[in-house]
Chain A
């Protein structure tokens, strides 16, 4: 298949998926109860409800409601969330909390990639040596780790025990030290603490504080991704090292180093890159748990709160958003894969 055809086909295939996602979220919100709760809060007077129903087309037959649901979403009306401090439209809450989650996810991703790729390479080139055994157990433990428990334990050891011993310690939660910086009031520009600190305030202290606060949650969230990347890198590296052309390169007398870094690495990276893209979904799941533990003011903590408050609009919005992000990430990964590795196009 030509590259152009492949790209078009892949994008077209994403359309029914998006519709499927919309259908599922609509269906779920419908099952939970009267969908009008998405648009009202406890403070909405009963007399206003019929009007709201009408405005959102909830008095119409089901198929019409379905299209109204989609058109509402498209118009940016994602309902009212009642689990923030004050009632806010879901989309506004998302805009407010999204940067915190993304910042956390990016930091964990960077951490996972920077550590995972070298670990995978080392493990593959020293197969069945102690380093390899250690790396395998380390990465298997990452895949088997209950994130929520891991977060608690990190907090207990690296914050509480260090603190009690009077040693320098990591902060136990929040994005910044609240007694020193009021981010929302004084510093917020883009919502990304590190970015704002450097670009808008040139405030190194703010940057350092933000970074310190990212260490524990970033590690907690990134461990799973780290484990996945390490495993993938190891196995694809092993696969590539077995290929004939590598053996040939070695037999031609190229040094081990040149073989590994020049020939094998490039090819082994392809599957790893795709895993990095897919791990984004895992990060979103993990964020729900990590943010709860570290009191991180992002989407994940908001979603958990929404669930405990039966805040249907918020859950609906969150699920939808995550799914859309995930679909986009998958799409990009597939396209990149298709460009890098022509074989996939013939699938």
Chain B
């Protein structure tokens, strides 16, 4: 166990940093349950999240967003690569050494019902982090939990209820309260609004923004809803088959340099007849993360793919203004710029 923090040259503005992070799940099969393959859920992700910002992560289902979030928080042990938190290498810390660091980060899971113990009251669920870290018990814990619940718009009556007595949106807010209990600096929000309807979604998103300002939080915001991500994030990372293909500080609806991002953007339904049939729909299925395609992972579905794309893997390169793209022909491709602009407007109007 190397707990000597490897001080890489790190921007003091950066709170979380990963270097070539990989997480593979072994796949067993056959008569003796041998390992017959590996799911490349996260396959070489390098990113930085600055203090106080929100990094949005988008991608199709199964591309490894959740796995990335869980690995960064060390809820999963990474297969290789490095994770830095606040300048410290936490990749190989033991559970005990992680304990103080756990206080500084939290996660809100995709499914709020499943992430609350059905037999534990809300007071105890939200108070658990306080008890575990020896911060408060008994009446003091209760007071702190009440304070948290009020912050997310719940009240004293809700303290002694069980999860099944709440609505989906309320449960989500309970989970947010629990993630906040330790006053962390960094929270991974895993599709926090996927299980609620649009109006509740808007409320929850605004609540999260308010909380971010109040507690100076840094968010990693995972979603496959591009509009929501755009609304929430300072920068957006686009994932495809375990890799980041584009990371942009700009509006992804307007300036996109990667064909995959463009495809995603154009797949967003727009209530405008002018665009009927014009959206560039993604062709074919997502390839299996067990045997990802050679070269550029997107090449089987990319209309611009050529021989180079099939053999040589594009690196994530800065094309200016901190806009990173992993495509051999970044900036050289013509998706029909004007179409894109019109489209972005239509989305904006919608």
Indicate whether A and B are direct neighbours in the complex (CB within 8 Å): yes
Q: Mark B332-347, 1 if CB is under 8 A from A, else 0.
A: 0000000000000000
A12 to B31, CA, bound (A): 9
How close is A179's CB to chain B, nearest CB, in angstroms? 59
Q: Within residues 13 to 30 of chain B, which ones have a CB less than 8 A from any CB in chain A? A: 29-30
Q: Within residues 64 to 115 of chain A, which ones have a CB less than 8 A from any CB in chain B? A: none
Residues of chain B with a CB closer than 8 A to A2's CB: 29
How close is B348's CB to chain A, nearest CB, in angstroms? 38
Question: Count of B residues near A, CB < 8 Å?
Answer: 5
Question: Count of A residues near B, CB < 8 Å?
Answer: 6
Residues of chain A with a CB closer than 8 A to B30's CB: 1, 5
Q: Which residue of B lies closest to A7 (CB)?
A: B31
Q: Which residue of B lies closest to A1 (CB)?
A: B29
How close is A90's CB to chain B, nearest CB, in angstroms? 36
Q: Mark B25-44, 1 if CB is under 8 A from A, else 0.
A: 00001111100000000000
Q: Within residues 6 to 53 of chain A, which ones have a CB less than 8 A from any CB in chain B? A: 8-9, 12
A59 to B345, CA, bound (A): 95
A2 to B32, CA, bound (A): 12
A2 to B29, CA, bound (A): 8
How close is B31's CB to chain A, nearest CB, in angstroms? 5
Residues of chain B with a CB closer than 8 A to A5's CB: 29-31
How close is A3's CB to chain B, nearest CB, in angstroms? 12
How close is B39's CB to chain A, nearest CB, in angstroms? 15
A98 to B89, CA, bound (A): 71
How close is A265's CB to chain B, nearest CB, in angstroms? 33
List residues of A whose CB falls within 8 A of some B CB: 1-2, 5, 8-9, 12
List residues of B whose CB falls within 8 A of some A CB: 29-33
A-B contact list, 11 entries, CB within 8 Å: A1-B29, A1-B30, A2-B29, A5-B29, A5-B30, A5-B31, A8-B31, A9-B31, A9-B32, A9-B33, A12-B31
**Given contact pairs A5-B30, A5-B31, a sample of 9 additional A-B residue pairs in the complex whose CB atoms are under 8 Å apart:** A1-B29, A1-B30, A2-B29, A5-B29, A8-B31, A9-B31, A9-B32, A9-B33, A12-B31
Q: Closest 7 A-B residue pairs measured CB to CB?
A: A8-B31, A9-B31, A5-B31, A5-B30, A1-B29, A12-B31, A5-B29
